[in-house]
Structure 1
Amino acid sequence: MSFGAAIQTVFRKYAEFTGLAARPEFWWWILFTALVSSALGLFNVIPVGDATLGYILVGLWNTAVLVPTLAVLVRRLRDAGYGWGHAFWLLVPIAGLIILAVFCSQPSKEPGGPLK
């Protein structure tokens, strides 16, 4: 799956928590959201009241992609053979992200799952 195809797939399945997501779909999405957040963060030099434009834009962006990010995470966990409840590892600072990165890096466990 290419970068563009992965982004289109995640946006098309915006709030779909059922089904599966291959590793490329998940990791391309994570890269995309990180790149957009970084690009919007460049606007931190423009003050807007007590905040900066960058913080405001990044906050709006992260709010906009929260649901699709959680949806692709749940689909990826399911594809790797884990339950959706493992998404709660996000609540554990640092270690939770490491645990989820390991879980999401696993190959598909579902027979007939998406191609890697």
Structure 2
Amino acid sequence: MSSGDPHDGRHYPPAGGDTGAQQGQAPGPYGYHQHGPGPYGRQHPVRVGPQPGVHVGFGAAIKRYYAKYAQFTGRASRSEYWWVALYLALITLPLELLISYPGTEPSGELNGLGVVLSFVYFGFMLAHFIPSLAIGIRRLHDVNLSGWFTLIGLIPLVGWIVIVVLAVLPHKPEGARFDR
């Protein structure tokens, strides 16, 4: 088939520069598709994530969390940040409870189950340290703050309260300066 055949499986932008949002098309998994020249001058769809300030659901937030594992540039919406926080809490809190109660002896020492669960917990936390730091920095970018503000979290108690307050702040358009 020729590259101009409308049934060859490719999607070309409509004349006049209309996007899918303007034509009433449903968004894809990462928002509306924009089109641009691909390799060798061919047109191809480019996935574009939801713009900051736009609500994303639980599943989309988790997918973006892992897809942007170590991406410290860009921005993360409030919903993306807090859905990930809920996801991490739903995994770590039960592990902590299992380590604390059935995983310890009356003397306070870990038994076999506690040791195994401690290794699982440590492995999970180690694997999720970088993406959690990245989403926190992207959330600060969305409120137009430098990622260096995450260092405030190192201050005992007060630092965590400040980080929570900053994560609750609404989206600021000026944060676009962090997009690349």
TM class by shorter chain equals 0.7 to 0.9
The match for 2:140 is 77
C-alpha RMSD over aligned residues: 1.9
Secondary structure at 1:52 match in 2: helix
Greater relative CO (CA pairs within 8 A, separation 6+): 1
* Unmatched runs of 5 consecutive residues or more in structure 2: 1-55, 104-110
Q: Considering only CA atoms, is the larger Rg found in Structure 1 or Structure 2? A: 2
Task: Give the percent of matched residue pairs that are identical in Structure 1 and Structure 2.
Answer: 33
CA contact (8 A) 1:90 1:97 kept: yes
TM-score when normalising by structure 1: 0.87
Post-superposition Cα deviations, 1:40-81, rounded to whole Å, max 9, x if no partner, equal 2243224239x5333222211111100000000000000011
CA contact (8 A) 1:41 1:57 kept: no
Q: Which has the higher helix share?
A: 1
Q: 1:15 aligns with which of 45, 50, 70?
A: 70
Shift of the alpha carbon at 1:86? 0.4
Q: 1:2 aligns with which of 39, 49, 57?
A: 57
CA distance in 2, matches of 1:92, 1:42: 26
CA distance in 2, matches of 1:58, 1:38: 10
Runs of 4+ in 1 over 3 A off after TM superposition: none
The match for 1:27 is 82
TM-score when normalising by structure 2: 0.58
